[in-house]
Amino acid sequence: MESKKQHNHYSEEFKWRVVQEVLSGKFTKEEARKVYGIKSNCAILYWMRQFSGNDNYRAGGEPLIEKSTVTGMKELNKNAQRIKELEEELNRERIRADLWQKMVELAENQFNIDIRKKFGAKPFTPSKSKKGNK
């Protein structure tokens, strides 16, 4: 029985993400290949050439993609990382707010006191009789 070479088909989004991670310095081509289980030794290099816009890369010369575009891609990657960090921070703050809410509820129930201001409550005003005693 002959063994057929298995070709893995990766989505364009996956290829783009891997190329961006290599270009940003997060991984080397070899590290990305191992992390994502890409069996081909040259797939990432091929994808990088594919996304460069230079169809005839064997002829040499400069790729059609400009340095400013690569810089823009790196900036987009930094922005995406920052968004991810902010989303994680927001999630932590939501958990913290929920925890605080539960603590207030428990304290109110356990000590039978109102900690939160009720909607429509009148503001505190000192009585006039105490002002006259000073």
Cα distance between residue 44 and residue 20, in whole Å: 11
Confidence of residue 129 (pLDDT cuts 50, 70, 90): low
**How many residues make up the chain in this entry?**
134
Residue 6 has what pLDDT?
55
Flag whether 32 is in a domain. Answer: yes
37: left (phi over 0), alpha (psi -120 to 50) or beta: left
Is 47 found in the same domain as 77? no
User: What pTM does this model have?
Assistant: 0.38
Residue-wise pLDDT tens digits, 56-90: 545 544 544 555 666 667 777 888 889 999 999 99
Domain count for the chain, please give it. Answer: 2
Confidence of residue 100 (pLDDT cuts 50, 70, 90): very high
Residue 33 domain boundaries: 9-65
Is 84 found in the same domain as 51? no
